[in-house]
Structures are given as C-alpha cells and as structure tokens.
Amino acid sequence: MAVLKLDRWNIAIGEGQPLVVIAGLNVLESEKLALDSAGHLKGVCAELGLPYIFKASFDKANRSSIASYRGPGLEEGLRILAKVKAEFEAPICTDLHTENQAEAVAEVADVVQIPAFLGRQTDLVVAAARATHRRGGWLHQKKSQNMAPWDAKHMVDKVREAIGGAQISVLCERGTTFGYNNLVVDMLGIEEMHKLGVPVTIDATHAVQLPGADPRTQGASTGGRREGVPIIAKAAIAAGADGVFLEFHPSPDDALCDGLSALPLAGARDLLATLKVLHEAVAPRRAA
C-alpha cells in the first residue's frame, strides 16, 4: 500500500505510519471558534504524539433545507482557514463543491476533500485532483453512501488518470445507506479499500448520521447518534484504518450544523488516546 506524505508538515499516512487525526468543526461558525478549537485539538495531538490536520467546511452546500446554516462562504472561509494554518502551524482539510473552487481551495488546504455525494462528479474530481497535485497535497475522497468498497477503485483510477498516474488519494469510509434514514459501516470494507493501494480513513462523525431524521426540525435536517462516534472510530481503527476524521464542538447541542453527530471538544483527549493505543496494537499485525 502506498504511503502518502505531506512534506511541508512532515506528516505521512499509510502502513507503518502513526494514526493521522483529521479533526475540527463541521462548519466554520466564527473565527474565534475556529481558532479556539484548532488550538485545543493541536495541543491534544501534540501531547499524544499524533499528526494533526485541522478540518472545517466553509460551505455546507448539501443541506436538507434552503434555510439551513451553510457557513461563511468561500472567500471568508478560506481567510479563516488560512489564519488557523498560520497561527497554529497546522495543515488544513476542507471540502469543495464545484470545479471552479479547486484552485482557491487547494491554495489553502493541504488536504482537499471530495464530499461523498459528489464522489463521481468527474469535472469536480479532475479539477480538484489537478489543483491538489500541483501543490503536493492529498485528495481525501469520501466513499459514497451508495457505493460498495471495491467500487471505489473507479474513484481512485479517475484521479490517477487525471494527474498522469500519480497517487494522491486517501479513501474515506463514512457509512452506507441502510434502508431509510440510516447508515451502517461495514468494517470489512476498510481492508477492501486498502487493496486498492491507498490509505484509508474513517469518518466516524458522518457514519452516525440519520439523514433527514432530525426530530427537532421534523426531518428538515439530519439527525445523528453522537454516542456512536467513539464506537465506530474504535472499531475502524481496530480494522486497520490509517486515519480518523472527527468533528467536535465546545457545545454540540448549540452547533449550527450537524450538532447531533458532533462530540464535545472537552472529550477529545480521552478518545484520541484510546485510538492511538488501538492503532499501535493493530499496526504490527497489518505489517506482518
């Protein structure tokens, strides 16, 4: 399996590497919240010796309702992310939704994320792959909710073909649609995606979503099972995931987007310490 590196940050992901933590906010709410959250998480990861990448979205374009909070938008959002990057010397992960955003996003984000709903949008994937590759970053590709793990091969192949055969893909498991308003995670899928020659992460936050099932809004927003996030994260790391994607908030019930799936920021250290131990226990077995 390929090991990918972010040379500027001395971070690598893949077999034999430390557990990579991609964590932060679901969506940018304010500059202060972004700085406070990044500082806390960077400190926790530094204490634990875990490579850290700050994540936050500047726009949540795939909302159930047109009235839902989406974020500050491209220009202001990238300004905040650039400030976080400079102040805490931390790489940035954020997602994009249209091909004309690719250059601006890749200029700030070291890890450009393709949302699960958009994983097969060829123009978007090609533009993001080319912009990211030129800057030495990673493309974090979320497996679609309706896709089998082995079918993610076509997502990876599309990127390689767009950039002359280079490998910059990290695949992300985030659950598969299971009937109505529910998702499940097949832990065997992590190894299936490893067979494609790429690192694999687990998005334990979005894996516990209940799409279109937030009782507070009569289905106009997404519900979630916050208590399931640590379960999914631990199971996936035990199954061999190379990195973990988590969303936190100082007060999840007050979050402006997907708060029911977010974890309290104060609990980050305990969970990440456990995930580190699990990853270190599993890594020698994988290498063998």
The reply to whether 258 belongs to the active site is yes
Residue 21's nearest CA partner among 55, 56, 59, 60 is 55
Sign of the torsion angle spanned by Cα atoms 169, 173, 179, 180: negative
Helix, strand, coil tally for the chain in percent (to 5): 45, 20, 35
The reply to whether 100 belongs to the active site is no
pLDDT of residue 61: 80
pLDDT of residue 1: 62
pLDDT of residue 285: 65
Are the beta carbons of 50 and 19 closer than 8 angstroms? yes
Are the beta carbons of 111 and 91 closer than 8 angstroms? yes
Alpha helices in the chain (DSSP H): 31-48, 74-88, 102-108, 122-134, 153-162, 188-194, 229-238, 268-287
The active-site residue out of 55, 60, 142, 276 is 60
Per-residue pLDDT of 225-250, as tens digits, reads 899 999 999 999 999 999 999 999 99
Residue 170's nearest CA partner among 287, 51, 43 is 51
C-beta atoms surrounding 287 within 10 Å: 8
pLDDT of residue 67: 75
The active-site residue out of 26, 59, 142, 143 is 26
Point out the residues of the chain with pLDDT beneath 50.
218, 220
pTM (global) more than 0.85: yes
The active-site residue out of 203, 214, 258, 276 is 258
Are the beta carbons of 227 and 185 closer than 8 angstroms? no
pLDDT of residue 214: 56
- CA–CA separation, 185 vs 72, rounded Å? 31
The reply to whether 26 belongs to the active site is yes
Q: CA separation (Å) from 233 to 35, 199, 278?
A: 25, 16, 10
